[in-house]
Chains A and B, each alone.
Chain A
Amino acid sequence: VPLAVFPKSSARAAAVPPSEADWSGFYDAHFEFVWRSLRRLGVREANLDDAAQEVFLIVFRRQDAFEHRSSSKTWLYGIAFFVARRFARASARDASAPIPEELPDTREPTPHEVVARAQSVRLVHAALDLLEAEKRAVFVLAELEQLSAVEIAEVIGAPLNTVYSRLRAARRDFDGALRRIEARTPRRSL
Chain B
Amino acid sequence: MSELSSEARRLIAAMADADGPPRDRQAQVKQQLFLRMSAVAAGAVIAKSAFAAPSSALSLPVAAKATVTLGTLATAAAIGGMVGLGVVIPAAITTSKPASSAAIRSPSQSTRPHLAAKTTYPMPSASALASAAPRASEPTSFVEVAAPREEPAQRSAVSSTIARTAALPDAHETSAAADTRLAEEVALLNAARRELAGGHGAQALALVERHARRFPDGALRQERTAAKVLALCELGRVESAAALARALLAAAPESPLRQRLEQSCAFTLNQRKSSGQ
Chain A interface residues toward B at CB < 8 A: 17-21, 23-25, 27-29, 31-32, 35-36, 39-40, 46, 48-50, 52-54, 56-57, 60-64, 103-109, 113, 116-118, 120-121, 123-125, 127, 143-144, 164, 167-168, 171-172, 174-175, 178, 190
- The yes or no answer to B222 lying at the interface (CB within 8 A) is no
Report the separation of the CA atoms of residues A155 and B17 in the bound assembly, to the nearest whole angstrom: 21
Closest chain-B Cβ to A141's Cβ sits at a distance in Å of 13
Report the separation of the CA atoms of residues A103 and B22 in the bound assembly, to the nearest whole angstrom: 11
Top-7 shortest CB links A-B = A120-B14, A120-B15, A35-B21, A24-B92, A28-B120, A32-B117, A53-B33
Contact of B32 with A32 in the complex, beta carbons under 8 Å: no
Closest chain-A Cβ to B115's Cβ sits at a distance in Å of 9
Contact of B20 with A168 in the complex, beta carbons under 8 Å: no
Closest chain-A Cβ to B262's Cβ sits at a distance in Å of 29
A113: nearest chain-B partner, CB-CB: B14
Q: What count of chain B residues pass the 8 Å CB interface test?
A: 54
Instruction: Identify whether the interface residues of B are mostly helix, strand, loop, or mixed.
Output: loop
Chain B interface residues toward A at CB < 8 A: 1-5, 7-8, 11-12, 14-23, 25-26, 28-30, 32-33, 36-37, 40, 58-60, 62-64, 66, 68, 70, 88, 90-92, 117, 119-121, 123, 157, 160-161, 164, 167, 169, 172
- Residues in chain B near residue A124, CB distance under 8 A: 11-12, 15, 19
Contact of A49 among B19, B20, B32, B160 (CB under 8 A): B32
Report the separation of the CA atoms of residues A117 and B21 in the bound assembly, to the nearest whole angstrom: 15
